[in-house]
Homo-oligomer: A and B are copies of this chain.
Amino acid sequence: VERPVSRPPHPDGRVRAAAVALFAVKGFHGTGIRELADAAGLSSATLYHYIGTKEDLLVDIMQTSLDRLLTAAGQVLTESPSPVAAMNGLVQTHVVAHALRQAETVVVDTELRALSPERRRPIVALRDEYEDLWESVIEKGQASGSFQVPDASVARLALLQMCSGVANWYASGGRHTLAEIAEMHARLCLAMLGAGPEPGLPAAGHYIRLVAGVWGDDTTPA
């Protein structure tokens, strides 16, 4: 099947939002292309013209989400003077993104299985690049004596599962504000690494603004 040359590099926001919502609730395989078109108010043919296949759409959602996480993490690392500060920022940024972009991050975290091996490879490479940033911060903290953990790689997996898990349970308007949840996670993660908080670490408001800056226009909770 030939793709139209004029296809824009990123699908229309309405289609993307509909796809994120449907994939998160029904799963990639459980969402029909027709249903997707209906939810976006388009015909299946128009959808195909703008987006390509359903897999193209999933790849675009995942790539955009991981690019944003990488951009946000890069900003955190640039501004952080120590492994403890870097970890405080990585955790809070990740938690805020997973709470505000709940459906998007759940799709990224659960639907890798749906991609064909060729499409999965570059997405896994982006995910690995992001996770390697976390692991290098843990290793720097081990080297400087700030962190005491038996194994940097297992600690990185444990931290990321814990922080990504916020997307599974966060509800806005719950008992705690988003800022409280982000700060508690930073405190728990630093304790897990055997480090106390340093004086003068930025509070959650800073990272909520950082996430809003990276996610740009696309800031409505989803």
Chain A 173-213 residues near chain B, CB threshold 8 A: 175-176, 181, 184-185, 187-189, 191-194
- A219 close to B (CB within 8 Å): no
Chain A 155-187 residues near chain B, CB threshold 8 A: 155, 157-162, 164-166, 168-169, 175-176, 181, 184-185, 187
Interface size on A, residues (CB 8 A): 39
Residues from chain B with Cβ under 8 Å of A169 in the complex: 157, 161
- A27 close to B (CB within 8 Å): yes
Picked from B109, B154, B160, B168, the residue with its CB within 8 Å of the CB of A184 is: B154
Residues from chain B with Cβ under 8 Å of A110 in the complex: 110
A181 to chain B, nearest CB (A): 7
User: In the complex the two chains form, is A185's CB within 8 Å of B158's CB?
Assistant: yes
Chain A 101-151 residues near chain B, CB threshold 8 A: 109-110, 113, 149-151
Chain A binding surface SS class: helix
Report how many copies the assembly holds. Answer: 2
A110 vs B107: C-alpha distance in the bound complex, in angstroms?
Answer: 11
A152 to chain B, nearest CB (A): 11
Picked from B29, B162, B165, B181, the residue with its CB within 8 Å of the CB of A27 is: B29
Question: Which residue of the partner chain B has the closest CB to A181?
Answer: B154
A162 vs B191: C-alpha distance in the bound complex, in angstroms?
Answer: 14
Contacts from A to B (Cβ < 8 Å): 25-31, 109-110, 113, 149-151, 153-155, 157-162, 164-166, 168-169, 175-176, 181, 184-185, 187-189, 191-194
Query: Nearest 3 A-B pairs (CB), nearest first?
Result: A161-B165, A29-B30, A27-B27
| Interchain residue pairs with CB less than 8 A apart (24) | A25-B113, A26-B27, A26-B29, A26-B113, A27-B29, A29-B29, A29-B31, A109-B168, A110-B110, A149-B188, A153-B175, A154-B181, A154-B185, A154-B188, A158-B162, A158-B185, A159-B162, A161-B161, A161-B165, A161-B168, A188-B192, A191-B192, A191-B193, A192-B192
